[in-house]
Structure 1
Amino acid sequence: MVLSVPFARIPTVVGLFAAVPSETVVIDTSNYFPHLNGHVDAVDRGQVESVWAAGQLGRPVVKAWNAALAGTLETRGVPAGTPGRIALPVAADSIQARRVGMRLVDESGFDPFDAGALADSWRQQPTGSRPRATGTAR
């Protein structure tokens, strides 16, 4: 299941997942832009966006397709093996969920790059800001 909503709106769609099996992998494509969609206190205090999203959804979350602009996703996907194929990071806590995300990224025309666990997915956010352990806003 692919979830593409403004990041701060994730809590408003949680109810849609009530009937979805708990093992269903959710691909989260969102990015945290508080100036556009509102602040999320936990993230402002340093929690990694994807970790927060996984907690809200209660499902295995894969962070993918969020590190490229929409135009890139629309026009730059090419078959595997094509010279110059763009790589996109894929992060998830579950190896199985990460494999699902990586397969889908590959099928969509991009080389999947294993970006590790959700706790490290801050690296693929547009701001690239490392969460602060002090709890201060970033």
Structure 2
Amino acid sequence: MARTLGLIGSGMIGGTLARLAVNAGWDVVLSNSRGPETLADLVAELGEHARAATPAEAARAGDIVVATVPLFALEKLPVAELAGKTVIDTLNYYPERDGSLPVLDNDELTSSELVQRHLSGARVVKAFNSIGAKQLGSLARPAGAPDRSGLPIAGDDPEAKREVTELLDALGYDAVDVAPLAESWRSGPNTPLYCFPYFGEIPAGLSGEDMMRWIFETPGAPVPAERVRELAASAVRGPAGASLSG
């Protein structure tokens, strides 16, 4: 019997995860803030193993649920429906978009601990926050492939991390457990592990606009699991959050 991945947020990362999950034999239930009808094209592309729903319905339906919304929309996640669920948190903190959050700016909590505090009845695991959508789709490889990449995960609940590890394996990645939620910053913005390793070698002389275009188009370069561990271990905690343009 196929398992179901619930998606709260169906933008670039959510849509890519939905495609990978359907290709891996999972059913997907997609949702966004604009209503199920706005997902008709994506559902048609994905076929019979996908359907659109409200965020609450996607939360109830998912064996695992991915929350892939901006951090400023955290309070809109359906708390009751996510209770008891393993929830994958892809959220990163960008103050210019999310507004300044003193609890993060002062390092009282990580963004994932903030998500866990809001979803007090769920089991939160940080994942898919350190890779671009294009690279997430193009770097997936079957188990045992010599060019398979690792992706970092962080969490406090061993069973939830086991479930997420199995999901990543099905989607084409080795899960690398880098930290508890209190150290989930190790894969966040401004760290050596955040996005750039998966881009590969960046062409010289690109303007800012050309750089962004290249990032959205390049298939990227594999990052083996051991390299993920090394990069996570080398991270030094700096100011929380990052600029969307830098």
TM-score by length of 1: 0.86
Give, in angstroms, the shift of residue 102 of structure 1.
1.2
Which of 104, 107, 112 is equivalent to 1:43? 104
Q: Distance in 2 between matches of 1:38 and 1:50?
A: 16
How far apart, in 1, do the equivalents of 2:100 and 2:138 lie? 31
Q: Give the deviation of 1:34 after TM superposition.
A: 1.3
2:87 to 26, 31, 37: 26
- Counterpart of 1:113 in 2: which secondary structure? strand
Give the Å deviation of 1:41.
2.2
Read off the aligned partner of 1:86 and give its amino acid letter: S
Q: Which structure has the highest helix share of the two?
A: 2
**Contact conserved, 2:150 with 2:176, CA < 8 A, in 1?**
yes
SS in 1 for 2:144: coil
Instruction: Please state how far the C-alpha of 1:29 moved relative to its aligned partner.
Output: 1.0
Determine which structure has greater relative contact order: mean sequence separation of CA pairs < 8 Å that are 6+ residues apart, divided by chain length. Answer: 1
Preserved contact between residue 27 and residue 64 of structure 1 (Cα < 8 Å): yes
Distance 2:164 2:117 in 1: 18
Structure 1 residue runs without a partner (length 5+):
none
1:19 is displaced (CA, Å) by: 3.2
> Larger Cα Rg: Structure 1 or Structure 2?
2
- 1:70 equivalent among 129, 133, 138: 133
Match of 1:100 among 129, 139, 163: 163
Q: Does the CA contact (< 8 Å) of 1:48 and 1:131 recur in 2?
A: no
CA deviations on 1:6-33 (whole Å, 9 max, x unpaired) are 01211122xx23134x321111111111
Distance in 1 between residues matched to 2:68 and 2:92, nearest whole Å:
10
Q: Secondary structure at the match of 1:90?
A: strand
Equivalent residues in 2 for 1:1-138, closer than 5 Å? 1-13=65-77, 16-20=78-82, 22-46=83-107, 47-58=109-120, 59-128=122-191, 130=237
CA distance in 2, matches of 1:8, 1:73: 23
TM-aligned CA deviation for residue 2 of structure 1? 0.7
Amino acid at match of 1:71: K
Could you tell me which runs of 5 or more consecutive residues in structure 2 were left unpaired when the two chains were aligned: 1-64, 192-235, 242-246
Structure 1 residues 34-79: Cα deviation after superposition (integer angstroms, max 9, x where no partner): 1223222211111211111100111210000111111111111110
% same residue: 35
Q: What SS does the aligned partner of 2:179 have?
A: coil
- Distance, in Å, in 2 between the alignment partners of 1:19 and 1:85 is 34
Q: Give the Cα–Cα distance (whole angstroms) in 2 for the partners of residues 95 and 116 of structure 1.
A: 12
| Rounded Cα–Cα distance in structure 2 between residues aligned with 1:79 and 1:122 | 28
RMSD over equivalenced CA pairs, Å: 1.8
